[in-house]
Amino acid sequence: MKSKALRLFYGKMFENLLFNFYKPMNDKEYFADKTAVSNSMLHDYVTYDKYNNRLVTIDYYIAKHIDNINLDWEWSDAMMIGTICDKYISEGEKVLDDYPVVSRRSWANPNEITGAMKEKVDTIIRSINAFRSLQELVNDPVCEKQATLKKEIELPNGKKLVLKWKLDLLIPWKIISDVKTTANINTLWESLQFKGTPNINARYFRQLAIYRFLEWNNLPCSITSVDHEWRMFNIPVRSDILDKTWTNILYDLMELQELYESNFEYITVDPFKEFNEEDMIEDTL
């Protein structure tokens, strides 16, 4: 009892300390705020494929986050299942009432799910409830679920950029855990590796690195995952992996900050501009 009371006391003290340095946001403010860059926004700008090739999509980023063009598509069944289960972890059983079961999705109500989808949701929820290490995190008296905050950081080039982030589970002075529900846990596991070593550019490592460096640099981190087949794992992520990941993220953030500073005015290179007319071969056909 004394231990729980102490944890509540230190948890409240941490919360007060946290909010002195970071600005809390509700969900509406979080998604409406385009002045701060989130992990998902950074992912819309730059991604890395399974061969670690860096892929930049400036036009997509501008359309979605600068011009505010709605590029959303109809959610797949798997995405909807994952969303429901993620909300279940943070909000409990009440969230299930928001998703009526129908014989066929009509899209008139985007929250409609089919019976087959409901069966998969129930399977994952049973896994979540049976996953002891996850339950220990969720039920910790000072666990912060879906903590949504933003902070201005200074980049290595001396420029500043405002970031926002949304933590799945945070236990002050103990652990940050990023929770993932996935169709196939093997696919997620493979995405975390490159040629048999940890893939420092894996999307979920990048997400966790941002959380770690914006919160508490020395706080242990883990990825917790449950799939549709009742398989689960909890992976502690080494700090040296996240250090390297954060270094790459800083490069991406500096590039993005420069684009914001230039109002996203970038030059399309003309492949022929370096050739003089006399150097070009005349087409005689």
Work out the burial of residue 168: count CB atoms within 10 Å of its CB; fewer than 13 is exposed, 13-18 middle, 19 or more buried: buried
Q: What is the pLDDT of residue 127?
A: 83
| Helix 203-214 and helix 239-261, axial crossing angle in degrees, nearest 10 | 90
Find tokens 């798997």 and name the residue.
Answer: 78
Extract the tokens encoding 214: 């914006």
β-sheet bridge partners, residue 162:
152
Query: Contact, 285 vs 74, CB < 8 A?
Result: no
Domain range summary for the chain, segments of one domain joined by +: 2-72+131-265, 74-124
Instruction: From the options 3.40.50, 3.90.320, 3.30.450, 3.30.420, give the CATH code of 2-72+131-265.
Output: 3.90.320
Model pLDDT, residue 71: 67
Is the pTM value of this prediction over 0.85? Answer: no
Residues of the chain with pLDDT under 70: 1-27, 71-75, 107, 172-173, 215-218, 266-285
Q: What is the pLDDT of residue 10?
A: 44
Gyration radius of the chain's alpha carbons: 22
User: What is the predicted pLDDT for the residue at 253?
Assistant: 93
Distance CA 181, CA 170 (A): 17
Question: What pLDDT is stored for residue 74 in this prediction?
Answer: 59
